[in-house]
Every structure is written in C-alpha cells, then in structure tokens.
A and B are shown apart, each in its own frame.
Chain A
Amino acid sequence: ETGVTQSPTHLIKTRGQQVTLRCSSQSGHNTVSWYQQALGQGPQFIFQYYREEENGRGNFPPRFSGLQFPNYSSELNVNALELDDSALYLCASSLAGSSGANVLTFGAGSRLTVL
C-alpha cells in the first residue's frame, strides 16, 4: 500500500501571497487531517475532511481553507500569507469507521517559508 504523499516538499513565498499544498491519502483511507508544525513545537490541528466536507476545525483563521476530492486527496490553501505561517504543514490520513479510525498516518510534510 502507498503511504501519504505531499507536495511540494519545500516552497518559499512572500507576505500577502497565496499557497496551495496537496496531499494524497494512504490507499484505503477516507479521512484527511491537516496540521501545522512550527519549529520545536508539536503539530497543531488545522482541520479535518471526511466525505468532502470539513469535519472539525482547530483555532485557525478563515484564510486557511481546504478541499477534499472524491478520490480522498486533499488541498490546503492559505491566503494572505503572514511571516508566522512559516512552518511544516503535515497531512495525515485515516479510515473513519474502522477499529483503527483514530490512528493517523502522516506524510513527510511541506515546509513553507514566508519572507
């Protein structure tokens, strides 16, 4: 089975720009969660998608938005980038309704630098 893949792995943007990060979930998984991890910190929950709908959201402003597609892949969009948005963005997939429903499989992340 293939794991979670994210793209791009690294990118640099300037303040005010917009960014789209992409994630392909692990084969057989139907739920995608996005996390932001600042240097030296634990991952912070942004939101979760299930059946193409947002299924929970953390303490992030509306300029963080997402999509889930019928093949369960997902996008994270961030508008009006700020310097503090510089972080590693992690995508994690899981299978809702299974005995291991809450076990997240993480991708390697997209490292965003905002200048």
Chain B
Amino acid sequence: GQNIDQPTEMTATEGAIVQINCTYQTSGFNGLFWYQQHAGEAPTFLSYNVLDGLEEKGRFSSFLSRSKGYSYLLLKELQMKDSASYLCAPLGRRALTFGSGTRLQVQP
C-alpha cells in the first residue's frame, strides 16, 4: 500500500516563495508526480521526479529524496492564480496514488 502525508492548507503572500512538503511510503516506487488542481477543475501535471534531486521548471521546482520518502514542491514569485490544491502522487507499479492535497491560498 501507499501512505501519503502533506499539509492540508497553506497561506502565502503574492510574490513570495512557498514550499509544500510531502512524505510517502510506497511499494514498487517508480517516481513522484505533482499535480495542480483548481477548484472545480481537472488536475493538471506540474512535475515528475524519478531520481533524487531538484527539477526546475520556470517558477516551479520539485525535489525528491527516495531514501527518505520525501518530496517538496517549491513555488516562487507567487501569483494569485497559483491559489489551488497541490497533489503529491507517488507512482507505484501500476498507477499514481494521490494524497489528499494541499490547498494553497495566495493573498495580496
């Protein structure tokens, strides 16, 4: 099975940096995904880490430590449109398992 732990809610200010942490326990680990989901919309792909280290993509970066079962998503230069839920999802043998998500509220 897979257990995923991430904070339920976070609040940050426009222009700031926020880090969303995720710890997981999984069997048959094949990488870790982060998805963004705005209220009432479908999840959209943000990043994928299969090896340890940092992957940077514009304002978003994601880090993975396989030995620690730990990942984080870093969002820089926050914008109001970044207010959404962020879903941590380790990939098992067959499918992604999603955490409950972190609801990020960006304030002016």
Interface of A toward B, CB cutoff 8 Å? 4, 33, 35, 40-45, 48, 55-56, 58, 90, 102-109
Contact = CB atoms under 8 A, between A and B. Distances in A.
B100 A42 contact: yes
A33 B98 CA distance: 13
Interface string B18-46: 00000000000011010000000111110
B33 A102 contact: yes
Contacts of B100: 40-42
A108 B94 contact: no
Interface residues of B, number: 22
Given A41-B100, A42-B100, A102-B30, A107 B42 contact: yes
Contacts of A105: 45
A56 B96 CA distance: 11
A42 B88 CA distance: 9
Contacts of A41: 100-101
Given A102-B31, A102-B33, A102-B91, A45 B42 contact: no
Contact of B101 (A35, A42, A103, A104): A42
20 contacts: A33-B95, A35-B98, A42-B4, A43-B43, A44-B98, A45-B97, A56-B94, A58-B95, A90-B42, A102-B30, A102-B48, A102-B96, A103-B33, A103-B48, A104-B43, A104-B96, A106-B42, A106-B43, A107-B42, A108-B41
A43 B45 CA distance: 14
A55 B94 contact: yes
B84 to A, nearest CB: 13
A42 B87 contact: yes
A35 B95 CA distance: 10
Contacts of B94: 48, 55-56
B42 A48 contact: no
Closest 3 CB pairs of A and B: A56-B94, A42-B98, A106-B42
A103 B33 CA distance: 8
